[in-house]
């Protein structure tokens, strides 16, 4: 769980000792079941017991808590690895140090694993901003100096596509129970050439956050929360000149970030475009998988860009929106009471009740990416007047991968995979979903709300909040980004061209989209078209 | 003992045998040959002409270090006491050459390749393609155009800095206090300035400056239009670096000969005449130095832009450096990005050389 989400939930449900004891008592009662039942429920008991460390509402977990969780979840490891089996093995793990989470937790989780197996892990900690450059340079210069890496799925094209990772052994698949993954994290994500490489430890998607006080019988935006982009655009235009019910300042509808964000800003245009462009008949919605011809200038994408331009033209955005990146729209606008609708990662609206600058904590609601009342069928080259939903699985989430550096040394390879499997274990991941860790729930078992309730969480809130994530993850028409080399290069150059388009330097949305397409063609040629086609198809599972 | 050459700094006698000299030369040429041979071998291996070679270029680096060490040692072996004197400078010179000249040559090579870190093929020479792309790259030319605006803004900064320096040089109350206060912005990192001012004080909704403007009935917008956004970037950069020019000019003012200024007053010059005819001309060398250094600072302008506007709206605030930053960091486009940087380097060298020539001609003295 992301730190801000944890804080939010604590604040949202006003956790007290009584609730804590209620949850604990329920777990204790379960522990008093007859022996046979207790054995069958041993797995369940571990889950319940680790959720008590340190206890929801009992402050942020520390290194000793992480070690306790790591110790209590070693059961699966012990089934596959003998004590001291990896004596003398040294592994190097490269990961992030964001918010003192990620690698900091991994150290704690793996400490008991190291003690049990006898292996030793050396750590490479990276700031998020340095991550991409470090990884790309390691790959490009052939200096991969790590055996295990924490990596986002968008980089799979760079790493798996170049054969730099080690294939997951079958015993690991069993140990981590991959069938439990939410749908979109199953193959082809994490796989390459039919082989599996990724131990998922996180899930990511954009969900819809809205201000409840804008809607309802007296709401200034209308009685119902919009469910399509067409409705959102109309409401956003209609709100011009009205007054925000909470702040008394000018009311605004949907908040599009109009400034780039190191490539990540493109995800926000994708949210709109997904509903128009992601037809259920194909997983491809950014490039033609046969030629890598960009689809970004087809009528669906042009419509998405045109929507934004229309809202600029209508004066529907807050002042200086042209200089607002996604960080601004979320934290300086939506949470501070400006605007009424937003798409963001599932964990960001969570700051609503805990951030000092947030004023919308009591009036925020969640949903999945809005639909469109028509969808563009790229294969037929025509619009279809059917309702289309396509949640945007932006960034896909973090995973743990073992590098090919371990190949040729079976002991080292098994050790590396055992460490990765421990971090992606079913029980351990539940704890990581429920406490500050930097990771979102990503398994179907993470959405068993009874467990959350027993641990002391407020059920209604958890269902509302995490429900929007679960619905997005398991959506049959989820829009998955291509895991091709240099994907953020495409996004970054698109941001530059969009900025020009939004500033009025191109004549139309079509011209802007054409400029993006031309820039994407250049990148594809530079990286190698044939190679990109092969990898793109592979990443889509075609 | 030799009685020829520079004896002034000679401490011990040098009686170097021919064998010793030969040994020294052998060391130098032997290690140089080894280094060159290994480099050629590796090059042949990497280009596929031979089947055996090293995994990477590190052994060649070791051979280079061996050659450098041998070169240093040979100075003493061949030249004795004189060589020891050379040894004071040679390692530093070799170090600079290694870290400046080699990377520059490597960068020159890289800039004529299509190296994209995401490409599986690594750097492949692509002739003049990058140059042609640069020629057609509207983002680069736009950034260069912006740099002209940014550099021209130095003239305004100079006027303000001169005015402040004159004030702080005058007999005013709390002069030392103001000198320290006016220097404070220079002590801040431009990154801090961009966050504290650009992202906080000028934040449209709750930034204090915005609130004041709203109180007076205005609608604040600092980065909405290209002109105002560019001006705000200039203003933030100027706020940080005007104190730098000011302190240089103040030092110049304090070094002016008092008697010349007093003589002008005795001759009946007004304050303006004294400034125009005496102080300003005498301050020209300092002024030129301050302006040139400030322009060099300005040509590196990037951090404020990256943090506040990311070059927007629509590229209106982009500097060459911030654009190259995006090419490198966000797009891993090493070959093209390096070419842009090399071209920018050449433009800067030409510009600064011309500037210094003009100034020296204007001042009728070598700059």
CA distance B176 to B187: 17
Q: pLDDT tens for residues B118-162? A: 888 888 899 999 999 999 999 999 999 999 999 999 999 999 999
* pLDDT on residue A292: 96
Chain A residues with beta carbon closer than 8 angstroms to that of B222: 320, 323
pLDDT band at A30 (very low <50, low <70, confident <90, very high): very low
Q: pLDDT tens for residues B43-95? A: 999 888 898 899 888 999 999 999 999 999 999 999 888 888 899 999 999 99
pLDDT band at A352 (very low <50, low <70, confident <90, very high): low
* pLDDT on residue A170: 95
* pLDDT on residue A459: 80
- Assess whether B162 and B299 both reside in one domain: yes
| Domain-embedded: residue B120 | no
Q: Show which of B80, B110, B140 is a domain's final residue.
A: B110
Chain B residues with beta carbon closer than 8 angstroms to that of A263: 330
The reply to whether B122 touches chain A by the CB within 8 Å rule is: yes
- Assess whether A145 and A232 both reside in one domain: no
The pair of structure tokens assigned to A150 is: 């924490």
Q: pLDDT tens for residues A358-378? A: 788 788 888 999 999 999 999
What number is the average pLDDT over the span B190-206?
Answer: 90
Q: Decide the pairing of beta strands A195-196 and A148-152.
A: unpaired
pLDDT at B25 over 60: yes
Q: pLDDT tens for residues B262-287? A: 898 899 888 899 999 899 999 998 99
Q: pLDDT tens for residues A404-423? A: 999 999 999 999 999 999 99
- Assess whether B160 and B24 both reside in one domain: no
- Assess whether A281 and A346 both reside in one domain: yes
Q: Decide: B168 and B252 in contact? Cβ < 8 Å.
A: no
ipTM surpassing 0.95 = no
Contacts of A348 (CB under 8 A, 6+ apart): A4, A209, A330, A331
Q: Decide: B319 and B305 in contact? Cβ < 8 Å.
A: yes
| Domain-embedded: residue B8 | no
Q: Which residue has the higher pLDDT, B64 or A464?
A: B64
Percentage of residues of chain A with pLDDT beyond 70: 89
pLDDT at B23 over 60: yes
- Assess whether A53 and A197 both reside in one domain: yes
The reply to whether A499 touches chain B by the CB within 8 Å rule is: yes
- Assess whether B194 and B286 both reside in one domain: yes
pLDDT band at A437 (very low <50, low <70, confident <90, very high): confident
Shortest CB distance from A336 goes to which of B116, B205, B326? B205
Give the chain B residue whose CA is nearest to the CA of A501: B314
pLDDT band at A499 (very low <50, low <70, confident <90, very high): very high
Q: A191 forms bridges with which residues in the sheet?
A: A196
CA distance B79 to B23: 12
| Domain-embedded: residue B340 | yes
Shortest CB distance from B224 goes to which of A320, A325, A332? A320
Q: Show which of A413, A442, A470 is a domain's final residue.
A: A470
- The CATH code of the domain that includes B155 is 1.10.3720.10
- Assess whether A237 and A350 both reside in one domain: yes
Chain A residues with beta carbon closer than 8 angstroms to that of B313: 259, 322-323, 499, 502-503
| Domain-embedded: residue A299 | yes
Please, what is the angle between helix B81-96 and helix B58-79, to 10°?
Answer: 160
Q: Decide: A484 and A463 in contact? Cβ < 8 Å.
A: no
* pLDDT on residue A10: 55
Task: Quote the DSSP letter at residue A294.
Answer: B
- Assess whether A388 and A255 both reside in one domain: yes
pLDDT at B229 over 50: yes
- Assess whether B100 and B146 both reside in one domain: no
| Domain-embedded: residue A476 | no
Please, what is the angle between helix A266-277 and helix A229-238, to 10°?
Answer: 120
pLDDT band at A483 (very low <50, low <70, confident <90, very high): confident
CA distance A387 to A406: 49
- Assess whether B322 and B210 both reside in one domain: yes
- Assess whether A97 and A69 both reside in one domain: yes
Q: Which residue has the higher pLDDT, A81 or A131?
A: A81
What number is the average pLDDT over the span B11-24?
Answer: 82
Q: Which residue has the tokens 């969900």?
A: A207
Among A244, A242, A308, A235, smallest CA distance to A270 is for: A308
Among A261, A251, A227, smallest CA distance to A334 is for: A251
* pLDDT on residue B7: 63
The reply to whether A162 touches chain B by the CB within 8 Å rule is: yes
* pLDDT on residue A241: 94
Q: Show which of B110, B144, B176 is a domain's final residue.
A: B110
Split into its structural domains, chain A has a count of 2
- Nearest chain B CA: its distance from A252 CA (Å): 13
Q: Show which of A437, A470, A503 is a domain's final residue.
A: A470
Domain hosting A271: range is 206-394+481-540
Task: Quote the DSSP letter at residue A405.
Answer: G
* pLDDT on residue A17: 41
pLDDT at A351 over 70: no
pLDDT at A76 over 50: yes
- The CATH code of the domain that includes A361 is 3.40.190.10
Chain B residues with beta carbon closer than 8 angstroms to that of A486: 116-119, 331-332
Residue A250 phi, psi dihedral angles, 5° rounding: -55, 140
Min mean pLDDT across A18-32, A92-106, A201-215, B136-150 is at A18-32
* pLDDT on residue B209: 94
The pair of structure tokens assigned to A416 is: 């590396």
Q: Which residue has the higher pLDDT, A34 or B353?
A: B353
What number is the average pLDDT over the span B1-10?
Answer: 60
Q: Which residue has the tokens 């990662």?
A: A345
Q: Show which of A470, A495, A515 is a domain's final residue.
A: A470
- Assess whether A234 and A250 both reside in one domain: yes
- Assess whether A272 and A159 both reside in one domain: no
Q: pLDDT tens for residues A216-273? A: 998 999 999 999 999 999 999 999 999 999 989 899 999 999 998 888 899 999 999 9
Q: Which residue has the higher pLDDT, A108 or A57?
A: A108
Shortest CB distance from A263 goes to which of B121, B311, B330? B330
- Assess whether A81 and A183 both reside in one domain: yes
- Nearest chain A CA: its distance from B2 CA (Å): 54
- Assess whether B54 and B169 both reside in one domain: no
Domain hosting B94: range is 18-110
pLDDT band at A89 (very low <50, low <70, confident <90, very high): very high
Shortest CB distance from B312 goes to which of A142, A323, A488? A323
* pLDDT on residue A468: 85
- A residues 391..430 contacting B (CB < 8 A): none
| Domain-embedded: residue A111 | yes
- Assess whether B100 and B152 both reside in one domain: no
Among B292, B275, B277, B193, smallest CA distance to B238 is for: B193
* pLDDT on residue B320: 96
The reply to whether B221 touches chain A by the CB within 8 Å rule is: yes
Long-range pairs of B173-181 with CB within 8 A, sequence gap ≥ 24: B179/B250
The reply to whether A489 touches chain B by the CB within 8 Å rule is: yes
Chain B residues with beta carbon closer than 8 angstroms to that of A538: none
Chain B residues with beta carbon closer than 8 angstroms to that of A132: 329, 332
**Radius of gyration from C-alpha coordinates of chain A:** 24
Percentage of residues of chain A with pLDDT beyond 90: 61
Give the chain B residue whose CA is nearest to the CA of A504: B314
| Domain-embedded: residue A518 | yes
Q: Decide: A527 and B118 in contact? Cβ < 8 Å.
A: yes
Shortest CB distance from B312 goes to which of A140, A333, A499? A499
Task: Quote the DSSP letter at residue A165.
Answer: B
What is chain B's mean pLDDT, rounded? 90
Give the chain A residue whose CA is nearest to the CA of B228: A320
Split into its structural domains, chain B has a count of 2
What is chain A's mean pLDDT, rounded? 88
pLDDT band at A482 (very low <50, low <70, confident <90, very high): confident
What number is the average pLDDT over the span A130-138?
Answer: 83
pLDDT band at B365 (very low <50, low <70, confident <90, very high): low
The pair of structure tokens assigned to A459 is: 């059920």
pLDDT band at A23 (very low <50, low <70, confident <90, very high): very low
* pLDDT on residue A233: 97
Chain A residues with beta carbon closer than 8 angstroms to that of B119: 485-486, 526-528
Q: Decide: A388 and A275 in contact? Cβ < 8 Å.
A: yes
Rounded to two decimals, the pTM is 0.84
| Domain-embedded: residue A171 | yes
* pLDDT on residue A464: 76
- Assess whether A382 and A407 both reside in one domain: no
pLDDT at B15 over 50: yes
| Domain-embedded: residue B300 | yes
- Nearest chain B CA: its distance from A88 CA (Å): 26
* pLDDT on residue A28: 45
Q: pLDDT tens for residues B333-350? A: 999 999 999 999 999 999
Q: Do A489 and B119 touch (CB under 8 A)?
A: no
């Amino acid at each position: 769980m992301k730190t801000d989400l944890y804080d939010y939930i604590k604040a949202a449900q006003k956790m007290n000792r009584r609730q804590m004891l209620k949850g604990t008592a329920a777990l204790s009662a379960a522990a008093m079941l007859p022996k046979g039942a207790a054995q069958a429920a041993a797995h369940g008991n571990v889950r319940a017991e680790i959720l008590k460390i340190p206890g929801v509402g009992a402050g942020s977990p520390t290194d000793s808590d992480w070690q306790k969780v790591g110790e209590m979840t070693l059961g699966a490891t012990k089934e596959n690895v003998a004590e001291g089996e990896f004596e003398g093995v040294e592994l190097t793990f490269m990961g992030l140090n964001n918010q003192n989470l990620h690698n900091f937790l991994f150290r704690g989780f793996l400490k008991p694993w190291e003690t049990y197996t006898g292996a030793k892990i050396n750590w490479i900690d990276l700031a998020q901003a340095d991550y991409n450059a470090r990884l790309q340079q390691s790959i490009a210069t052939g200096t991969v100096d790590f055996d295990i890496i924490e990596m986002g799925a968008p980089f799979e094209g760079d790493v798996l596509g170049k054969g730099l990772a080690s294939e997951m052994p079958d015993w690991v698949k069993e140990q981590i129970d991959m069938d439990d993954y939410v749908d979109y994290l199953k193959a082809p994500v994490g796989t390459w050439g039919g082989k599996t490489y990724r131990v998922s430890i996180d899930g990511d998607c954009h969900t819809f956050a809205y201000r409840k006080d804008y809607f309802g019988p007296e709401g200034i935006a209308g009685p119902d929360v919009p469910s399509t982009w067409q409705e959102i655009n109309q409401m956003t235009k209609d709100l011009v000149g009205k007054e925000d019910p909470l702040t008394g300042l000018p009311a605004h509808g949907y908040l599009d970030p109009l400034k780039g964000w190191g490539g990540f800003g493109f995800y926000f245009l994708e949210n709109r475009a997904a509903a128009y462009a992601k037809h259920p008949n194909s997983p491809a919605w950014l490039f033609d998988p046969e030629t890598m011809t960009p689809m970004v200038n087809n009528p669906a994408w042009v419509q998405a860009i045109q929507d934004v331009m229309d809202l600029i033209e209508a004066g529907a955005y807050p002042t200086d929106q042209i200089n607002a990146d996604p960080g601004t729209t979320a934290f300086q606008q939506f949470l501070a009471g400006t605007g009424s609708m937003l798409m963001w990662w599932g964990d960001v609206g969570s700051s609503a009740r805990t951030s000092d600058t947030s004023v919308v904590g009591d009036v925020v609601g969640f949903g999945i990416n809005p639909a469109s009342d028509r969808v563009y069928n790229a294969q037929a080259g025509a619009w279809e007047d059917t309702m289309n939903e396509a949640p945007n699985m932006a960034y896909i989430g973090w995973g743990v991968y073992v590098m090919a550096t371990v190949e040729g040394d079976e002991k080292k390879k098994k050790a590396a995979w055992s460490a990765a499997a421990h971090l992606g274990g079913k029980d351990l991941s539940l704890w990581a979903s429920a406490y500050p860790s930097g990771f979102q729930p990503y398994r179907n078992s993470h959405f068993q709300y009874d467990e959350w309730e027993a641990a002391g969480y407020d059920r209604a809130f958890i269902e509302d909040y995490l429900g929007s994530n679960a619905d997005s993850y398991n959506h049959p028409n989820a829009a998955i980004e291509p895991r091709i080399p240099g994907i953020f290069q495409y996004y970054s150059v698109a941001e530059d061209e969009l900025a020009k388009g939004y500033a009025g330097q191109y004549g139309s949305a079509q011209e802007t989209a054409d400029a993006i397409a031309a820039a994407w063609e250049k990148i594809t040629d530079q990286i190698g078209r044939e190679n990109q086609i092969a990898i793109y198809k592979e990443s889509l599972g075609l | 003992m030799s009685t020829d050459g520079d004896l002034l700094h000679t401490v011990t006698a040098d009686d170097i045998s021919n064998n010793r000299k030969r040994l020294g030369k052998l060391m130098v040429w032997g290690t140089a040959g080894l280094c060159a041979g290994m480099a050629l071998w590796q090059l042949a291996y990497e280009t596929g002409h031979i089947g055996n070679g090293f995994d990477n270029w590190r052994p060649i680096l070791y051979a280079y270090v061996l050659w450098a060490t041998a070169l240093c040692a040979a100075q003493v072996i061949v030249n004795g006491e004189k060589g020891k004197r050379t040894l004071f400078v040679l390692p530093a010179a070799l170090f600079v050459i290694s870290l400046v000249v080699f990377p520059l040559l490597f960068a020159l090579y890289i800039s004529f390749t299509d190296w994209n870190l995401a490409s599986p093929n690594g750097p492949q020479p692509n002739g003049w393609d990058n140059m042609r792309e640069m020629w057609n790259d509207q983002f680069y030319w736009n950034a260069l155009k912006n740099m002209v605006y940014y550099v021209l803004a130095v003239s305004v900064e100079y006027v303000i800095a001169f005015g402040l320096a004159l004030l702080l040089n005058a007999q005013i109350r709390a002069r030392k206090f103001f000198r320290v206060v006016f220097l404070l912005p220079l002590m801040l990192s431009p990154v801090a300035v961009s966050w504290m001012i650009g992202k906080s004080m000028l934040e449209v909704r709750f930034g204090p400056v915005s609130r004041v403007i709203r109180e007076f009935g205005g609608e604040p917008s600092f980065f909405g239009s290209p002109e105002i956004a560019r001006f705000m970037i200039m203003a933030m950069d100027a706020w940080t670096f005007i104190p730098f020019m000011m302190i240089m000019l103040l030092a110049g003012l304090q070094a002016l000969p008092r008697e010349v200024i007093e003589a002008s007053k005795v001759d009946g010059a007004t304050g303006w005449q004294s400034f125009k005819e005496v102080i300003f001309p005498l301050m020209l060398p300092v002024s030129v130095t301050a302006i040139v250094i400030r322009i060099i600072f300005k040509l590196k302008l990037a951090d404020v832009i990256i943090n506040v506007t990311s070059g927007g709206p629509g590229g209106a605030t982009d500097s060459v450096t911030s654009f190259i930053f995006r090419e490198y960091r966000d797009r891993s486009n090493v070959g093209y990005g390096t070419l842009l940087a090399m071209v920018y380097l050449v433009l800067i060298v030409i510009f600064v050389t011309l500037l210094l020539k003009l100034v020296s001609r204007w001042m009728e003295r070598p700059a």
